[in-house]
Chains A and B, each alone.
Chain A
Amino acid sequence: EAEVAQSPRYKITEKSQAVAFWCDPISGHATLYWYRQILGQGPELLVQFQDESVVDDSQLPKDRFSAERLKGVDSTLKIQPAELGDSAMYLCASSLGQGNTEAFFGQGTRLTVV
């Protein structure tokens, strides 16, 4: 069964260091989302891509976060420098298109900043 792949599953980094997460969506899915989820809360959209273009990054802290999807397939989310408050689960999801009702999620990357 096709699934969204994310790596790494867990990451511990020191504050002020750089960290990167990778996501490979389901083949053929044009829309890719990066979410941040703090324990006990709902996912918060960081950035949404349609193919290689950013559709929405209004909640992305652009002074330290960046995201790219250069060929419209896999995507990388980077944090530099990491702060203690960035500790969270980072979830990647994909859907066939923006209007599709179902988003498929990867298992996420659990980031701990120490």
Chain B
Amino acid sequence: GQSLEQPSEVTAVEGAIVQINCTYQTSGFYGLSWYQQHDGGAPTFLSYNALDGLEETGRFSSFLSRSDSYGYLLLQELQMKDSASYFCAVRGSNYQLIWGAGTKLIIKP
């Protein structure tokens, strides 16, 4: 079967750094994406990794290791507005996006 594993909840303090991990087992792999979803809102795209290594976009970075079937999203200088659910998603064979169950990020002042 196909599956993505990520922690259900992570708690951090405002201004800190947090890492959200994702491991995957899929048939076919074209890349790992990260999406952010605020309560009641739609998912919005954050980043995409097709090759191994680190991609940086402002305060957010995403890492991929294809040999380990593993990736993570790194959020720096946490702000209260970063409180949301974060989803990893793999683009597998047939180009469909296979989603993890999401990680709820709770930020405390």
Contact = CB atoms under 8 A, between A and B. Distances in A.
A100 to B, nearest CB: 9
A54 B89 CA distance: 21
Interface in A55-101: 55-56, 91, 93, 98-99, 101
B42 A107 contact: yes
B96 A105 contact: no
Interface string A42-57: 1111001000000110
Contact of A42 (B45, B95, B100): B100
Nearest to B47: A101
A111 B18 CA distance: 34
A98 B95 CA distance: 6
Contacts of B42: 91, 105-108
B8 to A, nearest CB: 9
A42 B101 contact: yes
Interface residues of A, number: 23
Interface residues of B, number: 23
A106 B41 CA distance: 9
Given A102-B45, A105-B43, A33 B102 contact: no
Interface string B61-75: 000000000000000
B96 A91 contact: no
Contacts of A41: 101-102
Interface string B87-100: 10101001111111
Interface of A: 31, 33, 40-45, 48, 55-56, 91, 93, 98-99, 101-108
